[in-house]
């Protein structure tokens, strides 16, 4: 993997690129994560496809660009990244918040996609309750108390039965929160609050689609995931039997197999 900074329009973006492969997978991380979250997962993929990871602006060591990072702005940054790397088409894999970015990209630039994968993510807009929760998180961060997020979010992402086994990953995610800029966290929270519902866009889209859900996800409970699968018959669906929200860490082999089958157009 080649690590470097590139300019995506006027935004400096930190990326890693395996550079080789006939097909390209672009992996978009979730909220309070960075491209580092993919480090142990990429080796399951890069011998068979080109893999690109990046720090979405506001997280990792990419720049913060204003008080609100809308999903559309982040989609433009992803497009600028592809342009800078000379990548005409790719399959976008969006984990959690990264899925919201992938959906915005799918709406704006469908001609650049071979497929879109929502990995523990949904096309739903925030509920009023979820918006209130995000506003509370903004207040915590602005009050200098973002460590409160670190005590909850990383652990909750893993299925209860996996937490002890994967404690080192949880610790790494806690550390990631500590080094994430407060302004970046707030900008992304505001952007997630503002994002629209994209269910109808997805149903109408000609782009191939895959949903990957964890059976023990506390952020996207089974009944929510099942309802999404039922209302999106155009999408392929893969269930990870022993995962929560972090399936690419909890069941990396099964997640990688699902992605590679999708890229190869194997049903």
pLDDT, tens digit, for every residue of 214-223? 999 999 999 9
Top pLDDT among 267 and 131 is at 131
Dihedral angle, C-alpha 9, 11, 13, 18, nearest 10 °: 0
| CA-to-CA dists, residue 78 to 26, 134, 163, 239, angstroms | 9, 24, 32, 27
The confidence score (pLDDT) of residue 72 equals 98
Looking at every residue in the chain, the average pLDDT score rounds to 96
Q: How confident is the model at residue 151 (pLDDT cuts 50, 70, 90)?
A: confident
C-alpha closest to that of 71 among 36, 109, 43: 109
266 pLDDT higher than 80: no
The confidence score (pLDDT) of residue 7 equals 93
Q: How confident is the model at residue 267 (pLDDT cuts 50, 70, 90)?
A: low
C-alpha closest to that of 105 among 20, 12, 205, 186: 205
The confidence score (pLDDT) of residue 265 equals 86
Letter string b/e over residues 143-178, b meaning 16 or more CB atoms within 10 A of that residue's CB = eeebeebbeebbbbbbbeebbeebeebbebbbebbe
| CA-to-CA dists, residue 260 to 45, 87, 93, 205, 266, angstroms | 8, 19, 12, 21, 9
Q: How confident is the model at residue 153 (pLDDT cuts 50, 70, 90)?
A: confident
Give me the number of domains the chain comprises: 1
Range of the domain at 76: 2-263
Mean pLDDT within 145-155:
86
The confidence score (pLDDT) of residue 50 equals 97
Q: What is the pLDDT of residues 15-62, one digit of tens each?
A: 999 999 989 999 999 999 999 999 999 999 999 999 999 999 999 999
CATH number for position 225: 3.40.50.1820
Q: How confident is the model at residue 148 (pLDDT cuts 50, 70, 90)?
A: confident
203 pLDDT higher than 90: yes
Mean pLDDT within 95-124:
98
Distance (Å, whole) CA 49 – CA 172: 27
Instruction: Provide CB contacts within 8 A for 223, sequence distance 6+.
Output: none
């Amino acid at each position: 993997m080649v690590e470097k900074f590139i300019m995506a329009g006027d935004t400096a973006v930190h990326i890693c690129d395996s550079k080789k492969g006939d097909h390209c997978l672009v992996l978009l991380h979730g909220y309070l994560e960075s491209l580092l979250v993919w480090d142990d997962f990429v080796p399951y993929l890069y011998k068979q496809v080109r893999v690109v990871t990046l720090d979405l602006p506001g997280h990792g060591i990419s720049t913060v660009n204003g008080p609100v990072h809308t999903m559309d702005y982040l989609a433009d940054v992803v497009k600028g990244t592809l342009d800078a790397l000379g990548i005409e088409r790719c399959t976008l894999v969006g984990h959690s918040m990264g899925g919201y970015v992938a959906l915005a990209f799918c709406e704006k630039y469908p001609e650049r996609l071979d497929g879109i994968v929502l990995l523990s993510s949904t096309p739903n807009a925030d509920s009023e309750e979820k918006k209130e929760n995000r506003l509370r998180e903004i207040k915590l961060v602005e009050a200098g108390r973002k460590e409160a997020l670190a005590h909850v979010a990383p652990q909750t992402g893993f299925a209860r039965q996996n937490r002890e086994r994967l404690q080192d990953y949880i610790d790494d995610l806690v550390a990631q929160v500590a080094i994430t800029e407060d302004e970046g966290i707030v900008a992304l929270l505001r952007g997630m609050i503002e994002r629209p519902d994209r269910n109808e866009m997805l149903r109408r889209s000609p782009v191939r689609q895959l949903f990957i859900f964890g059976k023990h996800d506390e952020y996207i409970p089974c009944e929510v995931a099942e309802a999404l699968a039922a209302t999106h018959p155009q999408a392929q669906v893969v269930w990870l039997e022993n995962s929560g929200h972090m399936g690419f860490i909890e069941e990396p082999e099964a997640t990688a197999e699902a992605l590679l089958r999708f890229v190869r157009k194997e049903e």
